[in-house]
Structure 1
Amino acid sequence: MLLLLLLGTLTGAGWWWSNQALSLRSSPLDFRITPGSSLRSAIAQMQEAGVSVEPTLLALLARINKQETGIKAGSYSISQGITPTQLLGKLTRGEVTQGELTLVEGWTFKQWRARLDKHPDLDHQTRGLTENQIIERLGLAVTQLEGRLFPDTYLFDKQSSDLELIARAARAMQRKLDSEWAGRTSGLPYKNTDEALVMASIVEKETGREADRSLVAAVFVNRLRKGMLLQTDPTVIYGIGEAFDGNLRKHDLQTDTPYNTYTRAGLPPSPIAMPGLASLHAALHPAASEAVYFVARGDGSSEFSRTLDEHNRAVNKYQRGGK
């Protein structure tokens, strides 16, 4: 009897109600429907966010329109004037709002985390967590997140978890790394993908010039093969950490840290930044070159040399103003 009464109500006053503007706490009003929510749960979430709606009538309207099982999870934004009919249409069509976040190539995890923490459209579940706690929450088999997150522009439902976004970036990096590793040039001096990732991070920090990446990778690969020190400034700077004041001094190059490639042979113990796809590709597909030195020309490009004499001449020309 109650259902029949409600059906009768909806055919008259109910039809009128379904096309009247809902009262909103603010306009525009943002709310989120969590995955797996029933219609009743979705209505409760909207009410909590500030949508003034009669639950029984909205549920009945959805049932009559065969929309009760079609509510889609996600973030929504509605404005004053929206009616119950329009609201249900929006929910069943999944017209969600999205946030956007660009995570930049060459940035460190610390820099990425600062950007994540400031983003207004994320649910900040990592605040107060250490890096190790984040890794544990995500169930990742790594010791740190440096280098493990793929730089890209990520779209996400507003107020979704920053943990979820970090997990997406980690999965993306692993896919890219595995793909590049599978097609790598033969004979590279890397024991595993971890070492290749370290090299990619060094290439990322050493040059932003597309044409030079594979040559920079070749220099470092050749140095590893010959047992030469890598002698790359970005690793030294990373090892200095927060104490780095922007000026790299001779003293810094002589002060031993696990990341000082002037004092320690081989690759540093972990990546020093988040490498992009181009640097991953360069590290695993270095140019066919015998160069073991390079120096910046001052225009963003580099001069590559096979011998120390050639390199010294290039340094004199480009760094010291010699002819």
Structure 2
Amino acid sequence: MAHRVVVLAAEESVGFDLCIPPQVLNAAVGEGGEALYEVAVCSADGGPVRMTAGFTALVDHGPEVLAEADTVVVPGTRAVGPRREGVLGTKLAAALALVRPGTRMVSICTGAFVLGAAGVLDGRRATTHWRFAEDFRALYPRVELDPDVLFVDDGDVLTSAGLAAGLDLCLHLVRSDHGSEVANRAARYCVVPPWRDGGQSQFIDAPVPVGDGSGVSATREWAVDRLAEPLDLAALARHARMSVRTFSRRFRAETGVSAGTWLIQQRVRRARELLEETDLPVEEVARLSGLGTAASLRQHLRTAIGVAPLAYRRTFRRTG
């Protein structure tokens, strides 16, 4: 049976955020093409919902579908109660009261204000759009806010930063529920990057260079195909035909992180895929991902997602 997801559009809703869960989750299908998620969109009263971008959405459902949800997603919103007063408002409160205990709760962007007003985030780590972090802290001081990350997974409550970070969070949901292979297929269908680490910074201070052929994207692609090799900064710079100093500057401008940090991220990603999709020994996974030794793999995996390799494999290994 497909996992039931209900997207709750609060007045005024961010249209981009509202469309992310149906688009990404409906793109997640099994090997036989079967739907893995059943996604419904509702409003707090069943009526139309104004969007922040100058249009109104006619949703298919009223709040009653929230009582059947396995996961509830709240997109970004300008709803006055949660955003300005720290309260839900009558309609939102009544709608969220229908959600069953134990339902997974998710917010995108300023949807975190709704979860904050509902008390869902009290005592938990969460994030929201960096621009509204101080407003959030003032309204919801019991929440451990981290405005510097793309998303936060706190078990049955997950929150993302603004706008496109909602794509990362929804793909993370798919990956957590069904593994990297399914998430990667969904990402390809949506033509978006399949994985960005949740701890990655929300924004890049330096402007992205103009696409004049002087960037480092070709070198990044080259490196991803050679993760098992002993790559270092000098090797990457040689491939890009740049000095180490110039390469380092352009790499950070395009990605927001250093080349070394990016390389570790890609190797951890590759190790996760191998742990999920193969029965290779941990030592071989470490070698093929370029992390060297089993001890190094354990250290980097714990740093990235907080679990050991074998525990990760037991949780995410595809069966059958």
TM range (shorter): under 0.3
Q: Which has the larger radius of gyration?
A: 1
TM-score between both structures, scaled by the size of structure 1: 0.25
Q: Which has the higher contact order (CA 8 A, sep 6+)?
A: 1
TM-score relative to the length of structure 2: 0.25
